[in-house]
Amino acid sequence: MIKTIAVMNMKGGVGKTTMTANLAGSLAHFHQKKILIVDVDMQANLSQYFMEPEEYASWIKREGDFKKKETVLSIYQKRRIVNPSTVRKKSKKEPPKLILKNLTFRVYENGNAYVDLIPSTLELMDLDTTNAENRLKIFLNTIKDKYDFILIDCPPSMYFFTKSALIAADSYLIPVKPDHLSSFGFVLLEKAIKQLEEDTEKNLIQIGTVFTLFKDTILMNRTMANMKALRGRYFFDNYLKDLTGTGEAAAFNKLIFEYPRAIDNVAALKNITDEFISRINDIENE
């Protein structure tokens, strides 16, 4: 059963975070799904997509209403395993027990459906990553039954946090801009995923590749056709166009279907979401 999806690309500027945010929102809005999105990119673009600057700063600093709040950093921090039969004082330096409500920020609601966010932080750069690659997987396994899907927004690299996301995930989705440099990075990404599968003896399910930031030019159409000719890859029929309103929606912490000037991409977003659900059903029924 497909539950946890890593959304990834080794190249930045391809609309990955916009796709993650709006796919999550669209799954809740059009399909009444309960979604968790996890930001493991220390740049925290996904977190700031949904949170006002002052709100995000207060969360990070644990100020005001956010005194007990945590970021994704807390998931990666080492926690001591305590023997219940041993009585000892708790170390002041020991990270607090992970509580889901302290980690999540509700970014969208639609009746009984919703999107929760686990924010990221620049403090990830100071994390001791020794033996930490499995900690995201361990945590998500304890809470995944509370959600229909978990989307992990990865940094544009194949280093620690992307690897930990792939270890935690059962599948992956690749948003890609159909230009020359992005298509080159796409091939490298596929090789990196295969290498990780070999190293971890893990078989990741390919949800597919979805095109973003599309402009109806000869070069982009040619690049898209060339990429779709690659064997063994699934490409979504639907794609997001490069429209001013889509970028503006993010600037106002709005999903595409919430922002009037982005309306020209709403039908495309819904079609991508419908195709996403259909693709998962097809894989699970194979």
What are 158-177's pLDDT values in tens digits?
889 999 999 999 999 999 88
Strands (E), 111-258: 113-118, 149-153, 171-176, 205-211
Q: Are 240 and 262 in contact (CB under 8 A)?
A: no
Using CA atoms, how far apart are residues 246 and 266, in angstroms rounded to an integer?
A: 9
The contacts of residue 135 (CB under 8 Å, 6+ apart) are: 75, 76, 77, 164
Q: State the pLDDT at residue 82.
A: 44
Residue whose C-alpha is closest to residue 171's, from 144, 207, 138: 207
Name the packing angle between helices 16-31 and 244-251 (round to 10°).
80
| Number of domains the chain is built from | 1
Beta carbons within 10 angstroms of residue 257's beta carbon: 19
pLDDT band at 61 (very low <50, low <70, confident <90, very high): very high
Q: What are phi and psi of 110, to 5 degrees?
A: -145, 85
Residue pLDDT, tens place only, 134-143: 999 999 999 9
Average pLDDT of the segment spanning 101-129: 96
Q: What is the largest CA-CA distance in the chain?
A: 71
Q: What percent of the chain shows pLDDT beyond 70?
A: 93
Q: State the pLDDT at residue 228.
A: 87
Average pLDDT of the segment spanning 41-60: 95
Using CA atoms, how far apart are residues 19 and 155, in angstroms rounded to an integer?
A: 14
Range of the domain at 35: 4-285
pTM for this model (two decimals):
0.92
Mean pLDDT of the chain: 90
Between the alpha carbon of residue 186 and those of residues 21, 88, 161, 190, the distances in Å are 21, 52, 18, 6
Residue pLDDT, tens place only, 174-219: 998 888 777 677 778 888 899 999 998 899 999 999 999 888 899 8
b/e per residue 163-187 (b: at least 16 CB within 10 A):
bbbbbbbbbbbbbbbbbeebbebbe
Average pLDDT of the segment spanning 2-16: 87
> CATH number for the domain including 254?
3.40.50.300
